Amino acid sequence: MYSRGLFLSVLFSLAQLGWAQAPIDPALDAEIHSLAKDESALAKGEAVYAAMCFACHGKGLEGLAGPSLKDGAWVHGGTPSQIFHTLTKGVADKGMMSYEYIYDEATRKALVAFMLSRQEGLRDLQYRLVEVPEKTADPEGVDLETFSLDGLPVIKEGAFENGLIDPAVAETDTFAMSVTGNLHIGIAGKYDYRFTMITDAVAVWIDGKRNALTLDEKRRKVVLKPTELSAGVHAFRMDFVKRKNRPEISLTFYGPKNLTQGAMTVDGHKKLFDSFTFPVETTARAQVRRTRLPGLPGGTVAVGLPEGVNFAVQPRGGAILAIWTGNFLDIGPNIDGRGREPSKFLANPWMIGEPGIQLQIDGEPVPLRLVEYRYEAEQLIFEFAHSGDARVVLRGHVSDGKLHMDYQLKGFDDLAEKHVSLLAPIGTTLEGEAGQFTDQRYTVSSKHASSFSVAIFQAR
Ligand code: HEC
């Protein structure tokens, strides 16, 4: 799940954000919409874009110094006339110049038409909340080949903005929602899209056709079959039931390899949170966020335990790279899809940086790759793959106010003849019954080599 690009969740309510937006002009909207079907206008727009705009907005409109121009989130309004207005007037204080006297009106319209033709992801979303169907109470009882929310009494309906499916509208932890809208595909190709951490009851239709779903064996992750999609606009519908014990929903689209960044996402919290804070609260169970963290390599996974002890794990190698006690993370600065800003630790880490607490065999770091994380009995478990079938399973938990890490090494050859150890940075003490801690190295006795637990705390 982590190996390719983005993992984002749908959690936010946007209605109250209130950006300064340009006025909407319906006649101009209609005119530019029809231009977006005119090949010569598109070619003209594309040529100007490639000459003038790519440096700030990216070759594929994915955003660089300027925001993405192909997602559903628009700071200054996303209708064609609003985009035209932004382009005409510029955004002086943010470094986007006015193009009013550089390009004539026809050229500016062609530019907007070109941007429209390259939109990606969901737009124009309508939702209906319906009564939760009885039989989804038993996940095993849901037949994904026939599941739908048709015919159930409607509780509430409305529209979403910016291509964002916002579960907050349900105002409950368990709900059944049907969403319809348009799926924009910028570049034709095979699209792979999946839900993570969601309920087992989900169905997706594209252009009216039900997509075949597969579930991973633990029925936690629904994978939709990779689908060949032509460029343009497709009708989208998704019915799903969210249950209380599934804290997050994310729907992620992965585009063809030739797309810049290799991925697009329709969950839309991109770029709306420039100046916002969004503290992630750790409540009854561990929270996980894969987000940029200050001073740590990209891809590091942050975990907040309910006891107020937090740590960060490196997906390659499985090292513990940071530990902090107190509140977890403010991901607000980084929700922004243009994301240069890392998230903020809400308390100062007392241990941070590479190589961190590192698992070693015979004095060498163990090559590992994060395969997945999952909850088992409300506990968060990380599973890493080594070569062949060998796996390392890692579980962090708190007892006596201290962070404990449980390591399980499965399928390693001749482990009893090898030296398993954990290297820890200065300032950190490791303690446990399975080994000895000297010179910042916790050496595991051979008897415990395949399964041991250490307490990690700040050296006095
Ligand atoms: C020097 C860098 C730069 C160049 C060149 C540039 N832009 Fe921008 N553009 C920006 C920045 C920065 C913003 C963000 C303004 C903000 O956040 O309010 C922006 C915003 C926009 C927006 C509004 C996006 C929104 O979310 O509402 C549009 C549309 C846009 N640019 C189109 C273009 C086009 C088309 C061109 C080429 C003709 C272009 N830009 C060239 C930097 C640039």
Cis, peptide link before residue 355, omega less than 30° from 0: yes
- Residue 263's identity, in one-letter code, is A
338 versus 398: the higher-pLDDT residue is 398
Q: What ligand 1 atom has the least distance to the C-alpha of 78?
A: 27
Query: ∠190-205-120 over CA atoms, to 5°?
Result: 50
pLDDT tens track for 314-332:
988 999 999 999 888 877 6
Q: Which residue has the tokens 């035209």?
A: 84
Nearest partner of 165 among 55, 250, 261, judged by Cα: 250
Whether 96 is in the pocket of ligand 1, judged by its Cβ within 6 Å, is yes
Q: How far is the C-alpha of 264 from the C-alpha of 335, rounded, in Å?
A: 15
Whether 215 is in the pocket of ligand 1, judged by its Cβ within 6 Å, is no
- The token duo for 379 is 């506990």
Whether 91 is in the pocket of ligand 1, judged by its Cβ within 6 Å, is yes
**Of all protein residues, whose CA lies closest to atom 13 belonging to ligand 1?**
66
Residue 449 alpha carbon to ligand 1 centre in Å:
56
Q: What ligand 1 atom has the least distance to the C-alpha of 271?
A: 26
The sheet carrying 202-206 orders its strands as: 154-159, 121-130, 175-185, 232-242, 202-206, 209-210
Whether 84 is in the pocket of ligand 1, judged by its Cβ within 6 Å, is no
- The token duo for 3 is 């190996």
Nearest partner of 255 among 163, 189, 338, judged by Cα: 189
Residue 85 alpha carbon to ligand 1 centre in Å:
11
Q: How far is the C-alpha of 100 from the C-alpha of 74, rounded, in Å?
A: 20
Distance from CA of residue 68 to its chain's centroid?
A: 16
What confidence tier does 364 reach under pLDDT thresholds 50, 70, 90? Answer: very high
Residue 126 alpha carbon to ligand 1 centre in Å:
29
**Of all protein residues, whose CA lies closest to atom 12 belonging to ligand 1?**
66
Residue 95 alpha carbon to ligand 1 centre in Å:
8
C-beta atoms surrounding 448 within 10 Å: 16
Residue 94 alpha carbon to ligand 1 centre in Å:
9
Q: What ligand 1 atom has the least distance to the C-alpha of 95?
A: 12
Backbone CA torsion sign across 305, 311, 312, 316: negative
Whole-structure pTM value = 0.54
Q: Which residue has the tokens 């319209």?
A: 109
What confidence tier does 72 reach under pLDDT thresholds 50, 70, 90? Answer: confident
Average pLDDT, the chain: 79
Q: Residue 139 has what pLDDT?
A: 57
Whether 102 is in the pocket of ligand 1, judged by its Cβ within 6 Å, is no
Q: How far is the C-alpha of 305 from the C-alpha of 255, rounded, in Å?
A: 34
Whether 66 is in the pocket of ligand 1, judged by its Cβ within 6 Å, is yes
Residue 233 alpha carbon to ligand 1 centre in Å:
24
pLDDT tens track for 379-430:
889 999 998 899 999 999 998 889 999 999 999 998 989 999 999 999 999 9
Q: What ligand 1 atom has the least distance to the C-alpha of 77?
A: 27
Whether 76 is in the pocket of ligand 1, judged by its Cβ within 6 Å, is yes
Report whether 363 contacts 421 (CB < 8 A): yes
Q: How far is the C-alpha of 213 from the C-alpha of 203, rounded, in Å?
A: 8
Q: What ligand 1 atom has the least distance to the C-alpha of 48?
A: 38
pLDDT, average across residues 181-207: 73
pLDDT tens track for 14-55:
333 334 677 889 999 999 999 988 999 999 999 999 999 988
pLDDT, average across residues 208-220: 71
Q: How far is the C-alpha of 381 from the C-alpha of 397, rounded, in Å?
A: 10
Domains in the chain (CATH in brackets) are: 26-117 (1.10.760.10), 121-265 (2.60.120.1560), 279-458 (no CATH)
101 vs 90, 107, 431, 458, CA distance in Å? 11, 11, 69, 62
Residue 116 alpha carbon to ligand 1 centre in Å:
15
